């Protein structure tokens, strides 16, 4: 019986090099390793990834509950801490325990991040603290940034965790501070007009995220053009 063509062995997978230059990166890495080394063995990376997702789902619910009482913003801030714990610690636990699954981890982590952002910002959109269109615009800008990050990682083999001094941890801290500010000043007067504070911050964040995404896209495209110049 004739044998079919031999199946080619899959090429060895090389994990993308990580670039993390945020303000808190060095201190955060030491803290996460310290926590991972002391975590009970029955808690694994998947549990922590799930915690990050559930935390932002509850955070979105907290924003929605602000329709009744703005004090639910404290619950949202607690969810930001839980999300940081789950989202930042899952990969560290896998590395510390030498149980790395780089392809699975990269894919699941980023899909979970996308769902988490969707839950959180949809909750904010229905909170009455912000004009819904502003929250949706911020969500679209964030998705554009993450799409660019995914494609850039595949094309260059470099995973940019932060842009300049700002990464995920800094964004959580800024959002928590905005939540506290909104508790005291839900509306502000700007150029003689009364505006929702979250609208002002949300529009500024949308412009910043969109600019970062477009700038990164141009930089990656130029780098790839130079690498493959004919």
The structure tokens 């700038």 sit at: 215
Rounded Cα distance between 57 and 223, Å, is: 37
| Contact predicate 17/157, CB 8 Å | yes
- Whether the model pTM is above 0.95: no
pLDDT band at 9 (very low <50, low <70, confident <90, very high): very low
Average pLDDT along the chain = 89
- State both tokens at 83: 């999300």
The pair of three-digit structure tokens given for residue 47, joined into one six-digit string = 């549990």
Q: Report the number of secondary-structure helices (H) and strands (E) in the chain.
A: 7, 4
Q: Enter the tokens of residue 30.
A: 């030491």
Q: Which of 171, 212, 147, 208 is nearest to 22 (CA)?
A: 171
pLDDT in tens, 41-74: 999 999 999 999 999 999 999 999 999 999 999 9
Which domains are present in the chain?
19-227 (1.20.120.1760)
> In Å, what is the CA distance from 68 to each residue of 56, 127, 153, 179, 222?
19, 9, 42, 16, 50
Q: How many residues does the chain have?
A: 230
Q: What is the pLDDT of residues 161-192, one digit of tens each?
A: 777 788 888 999 999 999 999 999 999 988 88
Q: 156 pLDDT exceeds 90?
A: no
Query: 70: how many CB neighbours lie within 10 A of its CB?
Result: 17
């Amino acid at each position: 019986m004739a044998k079919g063509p031999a199946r080619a062995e899959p090429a060895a997978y090389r994990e993308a090099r990580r670039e993390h230059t945020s303000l808190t990166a060095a201190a955060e890495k030491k803290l996460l390793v310290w926590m991972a080394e002391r975590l009970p063995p029955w808690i694994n990376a998947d549990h922590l990834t799930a915690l990050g997702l559930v935390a932002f789902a509850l955070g979105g619910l907290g924003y929605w509950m602000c329709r009744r009482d703005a004090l639910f913003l404290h619950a949202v801030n607690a969810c930001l801490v839980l999300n940081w714990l789950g989202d930042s610690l899952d990969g560290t636990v896998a590395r510390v325990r030498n149980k790395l699954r780089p392809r699975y981890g990269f894919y699941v982590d980023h899909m979970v991040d996308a769902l988490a952002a969707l839950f959180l910002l949809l909750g904010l959109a229905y909170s009455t603290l912000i004009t819904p269109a502003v929250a949706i615009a911020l969500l679209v800008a964030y998705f554009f940034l993450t799409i660019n990050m995914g494609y850039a990682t595949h094309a260059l083999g470099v995973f940019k965790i932060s842009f300049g001094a700002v990464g995920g941890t800094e964004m959580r801290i800024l959002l928590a501070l905005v939540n506290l500010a909104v508790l005291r000043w839900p509306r502000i007067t700007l150029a003689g007009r009364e505006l929702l504070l979250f609208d002002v911050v949300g529009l500024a964040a949308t412009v910043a995220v969109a600019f970062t995404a477009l700038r990164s896209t141009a930089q990656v495209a130029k780098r790839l053009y130079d690498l493959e110049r004919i």
